[in-house]
């Protein structure tokens, strides 16, 4: 009996470690690709909006995959999902390496976009499995262990940043960095090879597939369909195929939602719908900020310093997420989220005006502290409050955040940067505006954007003047981004008051569900699937 207990406990630990390393692999690739945006921008003459599209391609396909796989992951198994993810990651690296062979600048942009998109699909497949698996492995402490799981994300960011610094010093090309993305994938592949995963607590408790869909409801599906249509629209736009505007996204989403609503006959949980909307703010604050952070700090303080700051913030997140348990106990999950939102807001405002290296270091640290618990605590609240929603609920929260920042958040940040640049150029050097800009068709409007080729034709002195304006425009945009965590604080305070009116925040448990913690700890072997 004792040997069986030890075997079960060791098996659970190996699964959990494998999940952490898998998440590390996704963020490692995210960080490496983020470092290369500046080099790609120069090499392939990308506009800020095109950079935003590539950043978005690294996020919203992730979201589509994580949501779609949530519908089938309990049937195909977590192991099969991981194998699919590995294949997508490998193909994405090969496609990206082919960008210089595309022939034209636009064709190279499309290749970079597709390569990033494939990588994101692999990332989404990974997270579609590891989030519900962790919630099932540790059903009594979901928020704590989801926070530890998501320590893998900043760990990958940290390693990616360090790799960027090393490669910058030794002159490693961008192609080598893309190839190195494969290494952490091999590690999690070895750890999880041949292992069996537990079935989700929803399945173990006998909650039907239809009941899971009803917990989700047509209210949530309308949000998801709207963002999925926005993602498909972006792919068509990048490929040069005429695409629709936001009004059509909504109409198509309504058309898709009607049959789903007729089937489930449920709006879903109103609080879950509300959390989906809040997650859009969370994702744009954290991932949108991360997408631009290293580029902006590097422009202000230097590329090496920017990478170091990024690594420092990732290290803060990695360490602190292991200590989420005591903080959740002290403040409750919603209290921790409200505090985090306030701190992140202060950090972003500080980043928008800090001028020296040490000032940037201080406010970057504040921002890193603020964003540390956003993502895993939102997943924890979802898992604790909506267990009947199964893999779909917990992954939809992550997916909606990803797809929003990919299709709307990041391109919008890029548009704000371009608009801020145009405004400052018109104020400081209006004669240069026509010489360095070109007409761009943005997500929300047509506008004048920076043309890298025109910029290269200017004398070095004029190029330096324009680059100063670009740097200032990027930095001031972070101040506008601070509005989002401010809104989040108000949302979390509202939820805190709601739960207080109900007697306080308590995690919900499925009746009849046997804890996998008990199964592992006491030797009763639970249900597994390949």
Return mean pLDDT, the chain: 81
Strands 437-441 and 446-450: antiparallel
- What are the CA-CA distances from residue 100 to residues 18, 103, 109 (Å)? 35, 7, 10
- Phi, then psi, of 10 in degrees rounded to 5: -65, -40
Residue predicted with more confidence, 246 or 296:
246
- Please give the pLDDT value at position 266: 93
pLDDT interval class at 336 (50, 70, 90): very high
Instruction: Answer whether residue 515 shows pLDDT above 60.
Output: no
Residues 439-478: pLDDT tens digits? 666 655 666 667 667 777 777 777 777 777 777 777 777 8
- Please give the pLDDT value at position 476: 79
User: Distance between alpha carbon 220 and the CA centroid of its chain, in Å?
Assistant: 19
Q: At 476, list the tokens.
A: 């001031």
Which segment of 52-56, 168-172, 511-515 scores lowest on mean pLDDT? 511-515
- For the chain, which domains are there? 2-503 (1.20.1250.20)
- 415 in Cβ contact with 390 (< 8 Å): no
Go through 183-212 and write b for each residue having 16 or more CB atoms within 10 A of its CB, e for each that does not. ebbeebbebbeeeebbbbbbbbbebeeebb
- 88 in Cβ contact with 116 (< 8 Å): no
Residue predicted with more confidence, 172 or 263:
263
Instruction: Answer whether residue 500 shows pLDDT above 90.
Output: yes
Mean pLDDT of 309-320: 85
Instruction: Answer whether residue 493 shows pLDDT above 50.
Output: yes
Mean pLDDT of 370-380: 91
Instruction: Answer whether residue 228 shows pLDDT above 60.
Output: yes
Mean pLDDT of 247-276: 93
Percentage above 90 pLDDT, the chain: 21
Strands 528-529 and 446-450: unpaired
Q: Kindly give, in sequence order, each residue whose CB lies less than 8 Å from that of residue 27, ignoring residues fewer than 6 positions away.
A: 152, 153, 154, 155, 156, 157, 160
Residue predicted with more confidence, 220 or 141:
220
8-17, 273-282, 460-469: which has the highest mean pLDDT? 273-282
Instruction: Answer whether residue 517 shows pLDDT above 60.
Output: no
Instruction: Answer whether residue 239 shows pLDDT above 80.
Output: no
- Please give the pLDDT value at position 451: 65
- Please give the pLDDT value at position 512: 52
- Please give the pLDDT value at position 443: 59
Instruction: Answer whether residue 300 shows pLDDT above 70.
Output: no
- Please give the pLDDT value at position 357: 73
Which segment of 59-73, 245-259, 293-307, 334-348 scores lowest on mean pLDDT? 293-307
Which segment of 114-123, 179-188, 206-215, 414-423 scores lowest on mean pLDDT? 414-423
pLDDT interval class at 4 (50, 70, 90): low
- Whole-model pTM: value is 0.79
- Please give the pLDDT value at position 296: 67
Mean pLDDT of 493-499: 95
pLDDT interval class at 338 (50, 70, 90): very high
Instruction: Answer whether residue 525 shows pLDDT above 50.
Output: no
Instruction: Answer whether residue 291 shows pLDDT above 80.
Output: no
Percentage above 70 pLDDT, the chain: 87
pLDDT interval class at 128 (50, 70, 90): confident
Residue of 401, 400, 343, 392 whose CA lies nearest to 372: 343
């Amino acid at each position: 009996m004792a040997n069986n207990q030890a075997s079960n406990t060791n098996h659970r630990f190996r699964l959990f470690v494998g999940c952490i390393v898998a998440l590390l692999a996704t963020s490692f690739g995210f960080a490496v690709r983020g470092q290369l945006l500046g080099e790609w921008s120069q090499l392939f003459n990308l506009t800020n909006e095109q950079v935003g599209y590539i950043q978005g391609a690294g996020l919203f396909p992730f979201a589509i995959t994580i949501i779609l796989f949530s519908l089938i992951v309990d049937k195909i198994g977590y192991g099969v999902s991981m194998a699919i993810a590995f294949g997508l990651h490998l193909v994405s690296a090969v496609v990206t390496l082919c960008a210089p062979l595309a022939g034209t600048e636009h064709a190279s942009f499309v290749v970079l976009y597709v390569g990033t998109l494939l990588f994101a699909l692999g990332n989404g497949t990974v997270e579609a499995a590891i989030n519900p698996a962790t919630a099932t492995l540790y059903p009594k402490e979901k928020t704590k262990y989801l926070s530890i799981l998501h320590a893998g994300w900043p760990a990958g960011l940290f390693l990616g940043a360090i790799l960027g610094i090393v490669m910058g010093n030794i002159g490693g090309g961008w192609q080598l960095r893309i190839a190195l993305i494969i290494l952490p994938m091999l590690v999690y592949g070895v750890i999880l090879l041949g292992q069996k995963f537990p079935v989700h607590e929803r399945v173990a408790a006998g909650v039907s597939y239809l009941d899971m869909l009803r917990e989700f409801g047509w209210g949530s599906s309308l949000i998801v369909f709207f963002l999925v249509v926005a993602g498909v629209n972006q792919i068509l736009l990048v490929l040069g195929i005429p695409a629709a505007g936001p009004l059509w996204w909504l109409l198509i989403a309504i058309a898709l939602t009607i049959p789903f609503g007729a089937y489930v006959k449920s709006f879903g949980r109103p609080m879950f719908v509300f959390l989906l909307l809040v997650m859009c703010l969370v994702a744009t604050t954290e991932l949108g900020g991360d997408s631009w952070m290293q580029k902006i700090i590097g422009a202000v303080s230097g590329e090496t310093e920017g990478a170091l700051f990024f690594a420092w913030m990732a290290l803060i997140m990695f360490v602190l997420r292991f200590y989420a348990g005591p903080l959740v106990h002290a403040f409750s999950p919603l209290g921790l989220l409200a505090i985090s939102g306030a701190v992140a807001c202060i950090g972003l405002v500080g980043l928008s005006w800090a001028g020296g290296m040490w000032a940037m270091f201080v406010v970057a640290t504040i921002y890193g502290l603020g964003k540390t618990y956003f993502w895993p605590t939102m997943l924890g609240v979802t898992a604790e409050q909506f267990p009947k929603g199964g893999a779909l609920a917990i992954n939809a929260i992550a997916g909606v955040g990803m797809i929003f920042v990919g299709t709307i958040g990041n391109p919008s940040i890029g548009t704000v940067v371009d608009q801020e640049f145009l405004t400052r150029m018109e104020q400081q050097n209006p004669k240069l505006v026509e010489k360095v800009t070109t007409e761009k068709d943005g997500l929300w409007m047509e506008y004048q954007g920076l043309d890298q080729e025109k910029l290269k034709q200017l004398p070095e002195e004029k190029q330096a003047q324009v680059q100063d304006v670009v740097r200032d425009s990027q930095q001031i945009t972070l101040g506008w981004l601070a509005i989002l965590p401010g809104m989040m604080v108000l949302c979390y305070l509202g939820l805190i008051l709601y739960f207080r009116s109900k007697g306080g925040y308590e995690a919900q448990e499925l009746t009849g569900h046997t804890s996998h913690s008990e199964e592992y700890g006491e030797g009763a072997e639970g249900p597994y699937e390949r």
